[in-house]
Each structure stands twice: as structure tokens, then as C-alpha cells.
Amino acid sequence: MAKTHVTGELDYLVRTKLPENPNSFEYVLREAFLLEHQCTKGAEIAKVLGITPGRFSQILSSPSTLKPETIQHLLVRLSGRQTRKRLIAAWTAECFGESMGNSLFTGKTVSSKTLRRVDRQIRESRLVTAALTAQEAAVKSTDWDLRQQFLDRAFYARRHLNEPGRAMSIARIIAADAKEQGSKARLATAHFYKAKTLMMNPLCKPESFHRCIGEAVRLLSMYKNEADRLLKCALIEADSVRRLELNATLTFMERGLDPIDKEFLETERASAQGRAKSAKTYQSKFNNLFTAARISVLLGETFQAAELLESAFGSGEFKNLHAQEQCGVIHSMILEQTESPAEVSEHLVKAILLCEKSCDYYHKAMLETRLAEVESARF
């Protein structure tokens, strides 16, 4: 299970892979047999169906040519009404290119197993599916803590899909839930999420961010409820706020909204490097080295920035979800100071394609903005 305490951010620890269409016939079929028969491999599903693995591969390879009798053979092995409905809709879409209506992503009830499925979807960069599954599960959950965990995942997915409006809606729901439950800790987390979402807007002013994060700090100073600390959903602490405030300051400097403060940056870089040396997890090591690299770029020290960036990525490589995409953004800033506009553009295009493959539209938007600026200067 991904850790959610202390950082207020979710850490997903395995490699990503190319996204899948959650409404494709193959995906829906495999998901159905995973949910109802706990089958994960084609040979296992074939055994449940009473057919050979070769025949099952044929079914997956050409769903539009399947006869209704074959679909019926698949349906009789499935008991869930909505599961069968999704399979028929997927088959119809393969045959006629049209949908039969809304798809459901969870069963009648949700549990920690559903949460693990959402985590897997995020790790595999199926962020749209993860967001829809998590939001639907949050509605169905009768356990308050489990509901909050689903909302955490939904926020993460919507943010990386670069959907600030939907991300902010989820933060608002978390705040409403926290007020109803009387949880100051969770309400602080909601304001933390609100501040992170505000930073997605390139037009966000420093005063707007600081006003929002100030409310999170105020709430943090108020909660002493030990019951809150037993929750499994994300709870921020002072260190989480400090990191977000530093990242926001760097972002405002990068955007030209705050002046470059050399003394401040050098002090913060030394602190980040010190934290990286004492870090006990590769996530913490990556975050601190990455911050030090960003600061070096702002200071114009591109050689050191490149070394720090390489060390950051090497600390966990693909185990840090979206590390490659984040590093791509900073690497483009280094190239802007050292290479020709043509070379910068070439790097940016490659980095954008990488973000598209991993469905990381948050960092893709940053790269697209930088590409527009570079291409504009080449006229």
C-alpha cells in the first residue's frame, strides 16, 4: 500500500507502462474476470471459460468479428449485471464504433481491494480510469476514512491529468467532509490541496497562494486529535507545508513573478543537499536533489544543475512516478541556457511525447508552454 502520511502526497513505487483504453473490449474483459474470478492471466481466464489459451487470444485479437454466441459464452461466466453491461458495450463499440451508455468502474460495494486496484491503475499510468474509479468508489464507500483515501487518489489523478477544475472540486469535497466530521487535520489537507491546485494556474499570484497555504498552517496549529493520526488517508504536517512553500517560491521566481534572491537560494540549496544525504527513502532523496537542481538553474549554474538532476533521477529512477517527466522539465531549462533554440525544441518535443505516453498532462502543459516560448523566439 502506498504511504500517505507526512508528505501529503502519494508515492507509487513501481514502473509505469503505456496507458490502456479503459473501455476497450480486451481491458473490460480482463477486468471483469479479475473482479469475479481473480484471474490475471490469459491462460487462467481461458480455463474458466473452458477454452484453449489460443482460442482466448483469438477472441482478444478480433472482437469485432465475434458472433453473439461467443459473447453469450463469455457472459454466462459473469454474474454482475453491470459487468455484463460493460462487456456488451465494449463489444458493440468494437463492432459499430458507438457506446451503449455510461460504464461503471466498481461493484455494488467497495473495499480496500478496490483501493489497491486504483493504486495499480495509477502506477500503470491509467489516470483517467483511476480518477473515475476512485470518485465512484468514494460515493459508494460507507467508511469515512476509506472514502477519504479514494478522494486522495482522485485528486492525484486529476492533478496529473492537468485538470485543475476537477482537482479543486475534489479538494472542496474533502473540505466539506472534514467540516462535517470535525477533522481539523483533514481540513488542513484540503487547504493544502487547494494551494497545490492554485499553483497549476500560470497566472496565480504569490499573494493568492500564501493566503491559501496560511489557512492550512492555521489549521495545523489547532488539531491535536490523536484519532486523526490513526487515519490512513493523507494528512499533512509542517514539513509538507514547508516543502510546498519552497516549491511555490521557486515557481514564482521561474515565472518571473518574484525576484531572484541569490542568498536565499544558496541557503535553500545547501539545506536540500543536506536533507538528501540524510534521506532514508529514495522518494525523499529524489525530492531534495530535484529541488537543489531547480535552484541551481535559477542561479545560472547549469553544470551543477545537470549533475544534481542526474543524481536525483538515479536515486530511484522509474520507482518515483513521473520522475522522468519532472526531470525533463528542468533539463529543458538547463538546455535553454546552454544550447541552441533548435536543440531545446528537439528536447521539448521528445519530453512532451513522453508525457503523453504516461498520461502526465500536468508536466506536458509546462513543456508545451516552454516549447511555445522557444519556438516564438526562433521567428
Q: Do 338 and 373 form a contact (C-beta atoms < 8 A)?
A: no
Q: 83-97, 329-343, 348-362: which range is least confident on average?
A: 83-97
Query: How would DSSP label each residue in 40-97?
Result: -SHHHHHHHHTS-HHHHHHHHH-GGG--HHHHHHHHTT---HHHHHHHHHHHHHHHHS
According to DSSP, residue 135 is labeled H
* CB-based burial label for 142 (10 Å; 0-12, 13-18, 19+): exposed
The grid cell for 168 is: 479543486
Angle between helices 361-377 and 341-357 (to 10 degrees): 160
pLDDT tens across 192-220, in order?
999 999 999 988 999 999 999 999 999 88
Sign of CA dihedral 91, 92, 97, 101: negative
Query: For the chain, where are the alpha helices, taking DSSP H only?
Result: 25-37, 42-49, 53-61, 68-75, 81-96, 112-123, 127-140, 144-160, 164-181, 184-198, 206-220, 226-229, 238-254, 262-278, 282-298, 302-316, 323-338, 341-357, 361-377
Sign of CA dihedral 237, 243, 249, 254: negative
The closest of 154, 163, 62 to 365, measured between CA atoms, is: 163
- Look at residue 36 and tell me whether its pLDDT is greater than 70: yes
In sequence order, which residues have a C-beta less than 8 Å from that of residue 58 and are 6 or more positions away? none
pLDDT tens across 45-82, in order?
999 999 998 999 999 988 888 888 888 889 989 888 88
In sequence order, which residues have a C-beta less than 8 Å from that of residue 130 and are 6 or more positions away? 118, 121, 122, 153, 154, 157
Instruction: Tell me which residue has cell 533521477.
Output: 313
The grid cell for 199 is: 499553483
- The Cα-based distances of 212 to 189, 195, 217, 266 in angstroms read 11, 6, 9, 27
Q: Do 89 and 100 form a contact (C-beta atoms < 8 A)?
A: yes
What distance in Å separates the CA atoms of residue 287 and residue 343, rounded to the nearest whole number?
27
pLDDT tens across 270-315, in order?
999 999 999 889 888 999 999 999 999 999 999 999 999 999 988 8
pLDDT for the residue numbered 125: 84
pLDDT tens across 329-352, in order?
999 999 999 999 999 999 999 999
Give the predicted TM-score (pTM) of the model. Answer: 0.69
pLDDT for the residue numbered 101: 43
